[in-house]
A and B are shown apart, each in its own frame.
Chain A
């Protein structure tokens, strides 16, 4: 428990970058603010929802709506109940010239993060276990235990799903989606900047992505911005 506590609390030590970035942002130095907020990511840390959110605002201020959308989606994954995140995400989407329907996600992830759901599952499974070991109302304990396992299973599946299939946003220019992971692959269709797609897998410098209309194609990695790295890597 102590080790877990220390591990959870350790990132608080890295709170400085948020304040540093906010100071630079207030002074209008947007590039410096983005660099400060992204500094932990360069050291191998996963950015928090707050950092994603702040970076999204900086990109929005710079007028780069696709990158702002990517960052706000990253923030929405980690802060699903934060109304500011959803508000700004909607504004950034509205600022796009044209973008197709964004890819969605599981409904429960709009309410809780996989980590929160997982902790609830662990708590329930632990309570059920305790009840069964102490032989107190065994049927009720078994029900709590099974619920905990189910909730935990959903959380683990959700966490892996998000890690394996992050969301990416087309940035800078229209992206060409091809038949194969090569610049010589035949063109299937194009997506405008700001289009949100789901990453299926990666191969070399290409990502296999799927849009909301279930069309698939390989896109160059540098043509999109990942909302979060997951197992694909930044």
Chain B
């Protein structure tokens, strides 16, 4: 039903970014139906752990729905995807969901027992069912384009969406997007392009939706112009060349306006984020840790605004060293919503035993919903640090009579200097390309020669195939200079003339021409094999007779 699963790579990248082993998600296409229509709901189990990807039960998971919806299991599929060298298993359960009664109905949640014994819950989603309107039949197609909101704050993410739907099979749309004045594309999060079909009693409806995430970077009233849809509707059969005929129509959206409010003066702890965000902090180890043990610590900031450029404050704590272990920023279009995540990984290494208390930290962002800056204080758990495993304290040196460096406590592990060697290095960069060209040229020339030869041979074959079998006229076109050679060519021409002669339709003319042909052949035989000497006049006379016969045969045909 759905044409493509183009959102899968985006979902996988997202899952990799949030570094979760198994994710379960419900997706509906579409999220709005009319009574009597049928859409699709998918339950996706995406996992990097092959054992966890399967579900415990052999029966498909039941999909709870509100009273106004009717769900039927359609099928199950499984696929493997390689994302950055990591194999991800995707198990997909597909359900057809029919709209029965108007209202907003929940689908899910689905509590799933996975094959490895763990459980995962797919959050519920909502499908809005409206009353069927048969009084106004649907036009051939419908297009619409708009921003998801008209008033935004500086730095806030706004989503531009287009929608095209048609009952006509094969209908296509091409959008010319507005100028997006004062807006920019986020560094992460590509526009989404969804195509799906809704089953309707009056015929299937093909829907194509596109969502473009943008960030407001300039304030004030921003006139975005219009979006233009070029709709191609198939009409009639194929044309002379086999192409399907179609009618092109253009639709123009209303003028698109956007008002961008400047942000109020920020507090010192402002992170630069604008949107609604959630911040989580997690230590991979709970309870007791040993001195020197690495404790992975992750801070994840996710929300509907862009997180690119976000930085975490530097942490310093007594009794521990804290190291940066990289970060990931990712974003995606989740249906009509933009979702972004920044995950920061750190490693905490306790340096002394006792209780390790990491200081809390704060992160502030501007919340468009609250119309003010909000600050979240993250309190970190206390860790009990126990003594690490001790060594016997002896130092074994394998360096032999090492130079003075070994006595330097700072540089104890630094590898020594090279006492000799070249101080300068010639760069091959300027000569690489000429030398490569020089080495490659003979082979290249041979290859070009082979290629040209093949082209010439192919052209010759084509020419000969076009010309057909050799004719008598061909034999007379280039005659040798010596008399015997000319006579042999005449003989060849006479033999080639036999076939066209027999093809002459008029019997009287054919008989006359055959008689002349036989006489000429007999004369030629006498001249070639009977007479002692062959004079040039004789040969010239024969040639003249032969040429006349060839011309007459051509005329008779």
A18 touches B433 (CB 8 A): no
Q: Residue B403 contacts which of A26, A98, A138, A145 (CB distance < 8 angstroms)? A: A26
Residues 402-416 (chain B) with a chain A CB within 8 angstroms? 403-404, 408, 410-411, 413-416
A14 touches B423 (CB 8 A): yes
**In the complex, A51 Cα to B425 Cα: how many Å?**
9
18 other A-B residue contacts (CB within 8 Å) besides A11-B425, A129-B446, A138-B450: A14-B422, A15-B423, A18-B419, A22-B418, A26-B403, A45-B423, A46-B425, A49-B425, A51-B421, A57-B414, A57-B415, A98-B324, A118-B428, A130-B442, A142-B447, A145-B440, A145-B443, A159-B432
Q: Is B417 among interface residues, defined by CB-CB distance under 8 A?
A: yes
**In the complex, A149 Cα to B450 Cα: how many Å?**
18
B429 touches A12 (CB 8 A): no
Closest to A127 in B: B439
- A sample of 28 cross-chain residue pairs with beta-carbon separation below 8 angstroms, ordered by A number, consists of A4-B431, A11-B423, A14-B422, A17-B423, A18-B423, A19-B420, A37-B423, A46-B425, A46-B427, A51-B421, A61-B408, A61-B410, A98-B314, A114-B432, A115-B432, A119-B428, A122-B436, A129-B441, A132-B446, A132-B447, A133-B442, A138-B450, A145-B440, A148-B436, A152-B440, A156-B432, A163-B429, A213-B329
B404 touches A26 (CB 8 A): yes
**In the complex, A156 Cα to B435 Cα: how many Å?**
11
Q: Is B426 among interface residues, defined by CB-CB distance under 8 A?
A: yes
Residues in B with CB closer than 8 Å to A48 are 421-425
B422 touches A114 (CB 8 A): no
**In the complex, A234 Cα to B450 Cα: how many Å?**
49
Q: Is B326 among interface residues, defined by CB-CB distance under 8 A?
A: yes
> What mask results when residues 1 to 30 of chain A are scored 1 for a CB within 8 Å of chain B, else 0?
000100110111011111101100110000
Residues 435-455 (chain B) with a chain A CB within 8 angstroms? 435-436, 439-444, 446-447, 450
Q: How far is the CB of A207 from chain B (nearest CB, A)?
A: 20
Q: How far is the CB of A35 from chain B (nearest CB, A)?
A: 12
Residues in B with CB closer than 8 Å to A213 are 309, 327, 329
Residue of B326, B420, B429, B441 with most chain A CB atoms under a 10 A cut-off? B429
Q: Is A101 among interface residues, defined by CB-CB distance under 8 A?
A: yes
B432 touches A88 (CB 8 A): no
Residues in A with CB closer than 8 Å to B309 are 189, 213, 215
Q: How far is the CB of B416 from chain A (nearest CB, A)?
A: 8
A156 touches B436 (CB 8 A): yes
Q: Residue A129 contacts which of B422, B426, B443 (CB distance < 8 angstroms)? A: B443
**In the complex, A226 Cα to B2 Cα: how many Å?**
53
Q: Residue A53 contacts which of B418, B424, B436 (CB distance < 8 angstroms)? A: B418
Q: Is B185 among interface residues, defined by CB-CB distance under 8 A?
A: no
Would A54 and B418 be within 8 Å (CB), given that A125-B439, A132-B442 are in contact? Answer: yes
The interface size bin for chain A is 35 or more
Residues in B with CB closer than 8 Å to A7 are 426
- The majority secondary structure among interface residues of chain A is helix
Residues in B with CB closer than 8 Å to A12 are 422
B432 touches A18 (CB 8 A): no
Residues in B with CB closer than 8 Å to A78 are 425
B187 touches A214 (CB 8 A): yes
Closest to A55 in B: B417
Residues in B with CB closer than 8 Å to A149 are 436, 440
A122 touches B435 (CB 8 A): yes
**In the complex, A180 Cα to B552 Cα: how many Å?**
89
Residues in B with CB closer than 8 Å to A131 are 443
**In the complex, A129 Cα to B429 Cα: how many Å?**
22
Would A101 and B324 be within 8 Å (CB), given that A15-B423, A60-B411, A126-B439 are in contact? Answer: yes
Q: Is A166 among interface residues, defined by CB-CB distance under 8 A?
A: no
Q: Is A69 among interface residues, defined by CB-CB distance under 8 A?
A: no
Closest to A142 in B: B447
Q: How far is the CB of B428 from chain A (nearest CB, A)?
A: 4
Q: Is A227 among interface residues, defined by CB-CB distance under 8 A?
A: no
Q: How far is the CB of A22 from chain B (nearest CB, A)?
A: 4
Q: Is A108 among interface residues, defined by CB-CB distance under 8 A?
A: no
Q: Residue A133 contacts which of B411, B418, B443 (CB distance < 8 angstroms)? A: B443
Residues in A with CB closer than 8 Å to B326 are 101
Residues in A with CB closer than 8 Å to B442 are 129-130, 132-133
A142 touches B443 (CB 8 A): yes
Q: Is A50 among interface residues, defined by CB-CB distance under 8 A?
A: yes
B439 touches A148 (CB 8 A): yes
B425 touches A47 (CB 8 A): yes
Q: How far is the CB of B447 from chain A (nearest CB, A)?
A: 7
B426 touches A18 (CB 8 A): no
**In the complex, A39 Cα to B423 Cα: how many Å?**
9
Residues in A with CB closer than 8 Å to B444 are 129, 145
**In the complex, A27 Cα to B126 Cα: how many Å?**
77
Residues in A with CB closer than 8 Å to B311 are 189
Q: How far is the CB of B194 from chain A (nearest CB, A)?
A: 28
Closest to A86 in B: B415
Q: Which 6 A-B pairs have the closest CB atoms?
A: A129-B443, A50-B421, A126-B439, A115-B428, A84-B415, A45-B424
Residues in A with CB closer than 8 Å to B429 are 114-115, 156, 159-160, 163
Q: How far is the CB of B333 from chain A (nearest CB, A)?
A: 20
Residues 49-86 (chain A) with a chain B CB within 8 angstroms? 49-51, 53-54, 57-58, 60-61, 78, 84
**In the complex, A138 Cα to B453 Cα: how many Å?**
15
A129 touches B418 (CB 8 A): no
Q: Is A100 among interface residues, defined by CB-CB distance under 8 A?
A: yes
A10 touches B439 (CB 8 A): no
Q: How far is the CB of A93 from chain B (nearest CB, A)?
A: 11
**In the complex, A170 Cα to B422 Cα: how many Å?**
28
**In the complex, A8 Cα to B425 Cα: how many Å?**
9
